[in-house]
Amino acid sequence: MIDNYLIWRALVGGMLIGLSATLLYLGSGRIAGISGIAGGLFSTTGDERGWRWRFLLGLLGGGALVKVLGGAVALEFRSSWLLTLVAGLLVGYGTRLGSGCTSGHGVCGLARLSRRSLAALVVFMGVAVLTVLVLSLLREVAL
């Protein structure tokens, strides 16, 4: 059975993500792609670096605020830290290779009707589906 409370939380969360991306774009002309924002922390100076830090601290602050207000913030690692680190580095490499991440292409790129973002998302989702399929098959063979 589907929990209506979880559906509403996801809907409100998605609307807040869209609102924040819209406000960033309208207020500064910048796209809310997290990998680009984080990557620019180390390659820019002055005012450029300031808004990036504020944006990322706002992301972390939002999670902390939910926790303080009594919400559940679950963080569970089902793999080793080394595997998580390697996976993170591969994701980082992929976002550079794809000129952006799912937030930049999915939330902002599609909203701007970018064909490049649509192509990137088709690749992201295709690889995700293929990965789940391969891991499921490997898990079945191992059992």
At residue 93, the pLDDT reads 84
CB-based contact 103:33 (threshold 8 Å): yes
Which tokens belong to 12?
Answer: 């409100």
Dist CA 118 CA 109 (whole Å): 8
Q: Which tokens hold the place of 62?
A: 């939002």
pLDDT of residue 132: 92
pLDDT at residue number 92: 81
- Which of 28-32, 48-52, 55-59, 115-119 has the highest mean predicted lDDT (pLDDT)? 115-119
pLDDT number for residue 133: 94
> What is the percent of the chain where pLDDT is above 90?
12
Instruction: Supply the DSSP symbol for 113.
Output: T
Over residues 13-18, the mean pLDDT reads 87
User: Which pLDDT score is estimated for 2?
Assistant: 66
What is the pLDDT at residue 115?
Answer: 93
Q: Given a cut of 90, is residue 141 above it in pLDDT?
A: no
pLDDT of residue 7: 84
Which pLDDT value is given to residue 126?
A: 93
8 Å CB contact between 31 and 39: no
At 61-99, the pLDDT tens digits run 888 888 888 777 676 777 788 988 898 888 888 888 878
